[in-house]
Structure 1
Amino acid sequence: MNPETVIDAVSAVFMVTGALMSLAAAIGLLRFPDLMSRMHAATKPQVLGLFLLLTALGLQMRTWWVWPVLLVAWLFQLLTVPVSAHMVGRAGYRTKHLHPELLSADELEAVVQQAAAKRRADGDTGR
């Protein structure tokens, strides 16, 4: 079996799988009912899908210099997507843009209530 054929087959599988992962993320953004579910759909499959697509691109290019560039692109996504999802989740929680009946456990509620009580006790109006 020719090594070129194996590389082409592996990159084809990576491209199709990466594209399907990205498609699943897009469908999840459209179909999921609340902010927290959409946030999960936007981050988890998107990062893996991008990794697979960048790997397929690197295999198809067949040059060494493209790998550092692709690695930087993927690391940038890997570092920024969780942070942005966390910030969107916090903003959604604070502005009550979530469905509490869809949460299995609200672990943040006790902390928010404690902080609000402390703020009231200190006389801080939050302005």
Structure 2
Amino acid sequence: MTPIYEVAVGVVLVVGSIFALIAAIGLLRLQDVYMRMHAGSKAGTLGSGLMLIALAIHAHQIDVITRALAGVVFFLLTAPVSAHLLAKAALEVGYRPCAATKVDEMPKPEE
């Protein structure tokens, strides 16, 4: 493996790890379920996707590269859908956004 590949893999791994760390901190520090869900779905997906891309760069086997890229596509397709469904379910059972949320465009459920 040439030094360029090693540096590229290292940079992508570090950036992906930073995004995963930001997602974990967001899950712990943010105020309500919607903010936490946003941190987990956006930053977590980007972090894990970047780490899988680093694996694809590092691997020189087509089956590993294919599986890594399939994992990235899977994350990109499923994370937004699952976050949307979780947010919709949380709203339906009565979790309202916290006071830090400036604009709440969702209608209040009828009681």
**TM-score of the alignment, normalized to the shorter chain, above 0.5:** yes
Provide closer, same or farther for how the CA distance between residues 100 and 34 of structure 1 changes in structure 2, counting only shifts above 3 A: closer
From 74, 87, 90, give the equivalent of 2:88.
Answer: 90
The structure whose Rg is larger is: 1
Which consecutive segments of 4 or more residues in structure 1 shift more than 6 A?
none
1: CA distance, partners of 2:61 / 2:46: 23
* TM-score, with length taken from structure 2: 0.89
Q: Displacement, 1:68?
A: 1.5
Q: Displacement, 1:100?
A: 4.4
The number of equivalent residue pairs is 111
Deviations 1:14-66 (A, max 9, x none): 01110111111011001101011101100111111112101111111122232
Matched, 1:45 2:31: no
AA aligned to 2:8 is: V
Q: Where does the alignment leave 5 or more consecutive residues of structure 2 unmatched?
A: none
Matched, 1:76 2:64: no
Q: Where does the alignment leave 5 or more consecutive residues of structure 1 unmatched?
A: 118-127
Q: Match of 1:125?
A: none
* TM-score, with length taken from structure 1: 0.78
2: CA distance, partners of 1:78 / 1:58: 16
Between structures 1 and 2, the one with greater helix share: 1
AA aligned to 1:57 is: L
State the Cα RMSD in Å.
1.8
2: CA distance, partners of 1:90 / 1:28: 20
Percent of aligned pairs with the same amino acid: 33
1: CA distance, partners of 2:44 / 2:50: 10
AA aligned to 1:69 is: R
Q: Does the CA-based 8 Å contact 2:37-2:83 persist in structure 1?
A: yes
